[in-house]
Amino acid sequence: MRAGVGYSDEESAEVAAAQATELALERAAVNRADLAVVFATTNYWAEYPRMLGTVRATSGARSPVGCSGMGVLTSDAVRARPPGTHRHL
């Protein structure tokens, strides 16, 4: 089993989702994932469907899972201010 974590603080939900997912895939040294766990700050709430679609398309994971929060914990830091999106693959 391989796992990777990615993070992005881009304003655009779709760009953030793509960046974080690509970084997680790179860190896991894989080109697709069977599972994607997504944590996103609430400022993306209106774009959650598009964000999850981007994660699905970028990662290959059929059904990303996760939740929203006021901040995001990453392997590098605690991001307490939006925007922020985080991917575990």
1 belongs to a structural domain:
no
Q: Which amino acid is at 71?
A: G
Q: Please indicate, yes or no, if residue 3 is contained in any of the structural domains.
A: no
Count of domains in the chain? 1
Asked if the structure places residue 47 within a domain, the reply is yes
Q: Which pLDDT tens digit goes with each residue over 27-58? A: 999 999 999 999 888 888 899 999 999 999 99
pTM given for the model: 0.83
Inside any domain, residue 51:
yes
Band (pLDDT 50/70/90 cuts) for residue 86 is: low
User: Does 61 fall in a domain?
Assistant: yes
Q: Distance between CA atoms of 61 and 87, rounded to whole angstroms?
A: 12
Q: pLDDT at position 89, please? A: 47
Q: What is the pLDDT of residues 57-81, one digit of tens each?
A: 999 999 999 888 777 776 676 666 5
Residue 3 structure tokens: 């796992």
**Residues forming beta bridges with residue 41, ordered by sequence position:** 69
Q: Transcribe 22-61 into DSSP letters.
A: HHHHHHHT-S--S--EEEEEGGGGGGHHHHHHHHHHHH--
State which residues form the domain around 26. 11-88
Q: What is the distance between the alpha carbons of residues 62 and 78, in angstroms, rounded to a whole number?
A: 28
4 domain-assigned: no
**In this structure, is residue 42 part of a structural domain?**
yes
